[in-house]
Copies of this chain bind each other. A is one copy, B any other.
Amino acid sequence: MALLKSCKIISAVAGHSPVLGVFPIRASSWWSEVQMGPPDPILGVTEAFRRDTNPKKMNLGVGAYRDDQGKPYVLSCVRKAEAQIATKKMDKEYLPIGGFGDFNKACAQLALGSDNEVLKSNRSITVQTISGTGSLRIGANFLSRFHTSVRDVYLPKPSWGNHTPIFRDAGMQLKAYRYYDPSTCGFDSKGALDDISKIPEKSVILLHACAHNPTGVDPRPEQWKEMSALIKKRNLLVFFDMAYQGFASGDIDRDAWAVRHFIEQGHNIVLSQSFAKNMGLYGERVGGFTVVCKDADEAKRVESQLKILIRPIYSNPPMNGARIAATILNTPELNKEWLEEVKGMANRIIKMREQLVANLKKEGSSHNWQHVIDQIGMFCFTGLKPEQVERLTKEFSIYMTKDGRISMAGVTSGNVGYLAQGIHAVTK
Contact = CB atoms under 8 A, between A and B. Distances in A.
Interface of A: 3, 7, 10-11, 14, 21-37, 39-40, 43, 64, 72, 74, 78-79, 82, 86, 89, 91-97, 117, 130-131, 133-134, 137, 146-147, 162, 165-166, 168-169, 201, 229, 232-233, 235, 237, 264-268, 276, 280-285, 291, 293-295, 298, 300-302, 304-305, 307-309, 311-321
A284 B72 contact: no
Chain multiplicity (copies): 2
Contact of A134 (B294, B307, B313): B313
Contacts of A302: 31, 34
Most buried by B among A24, A28, A308, A320: A320
Contact of A313 (B78, B137, B235, B320): B137
Given A74-B92, A92-B284, A294-B26, A162 B266 contact: no
Contacts of A282: 92-94
A232 B10 contact: yes
A294 B3 contact: yes
A10 B229 CA distance: 10
Contacts of A298: 29, 31-32, 34
A23 B313 contact: no
Contact of A95 (B130, B162, B229, B283): B283
B31 A294 contact: yes
Given A291-B31, A293-B31, A25 B266 contact: yes
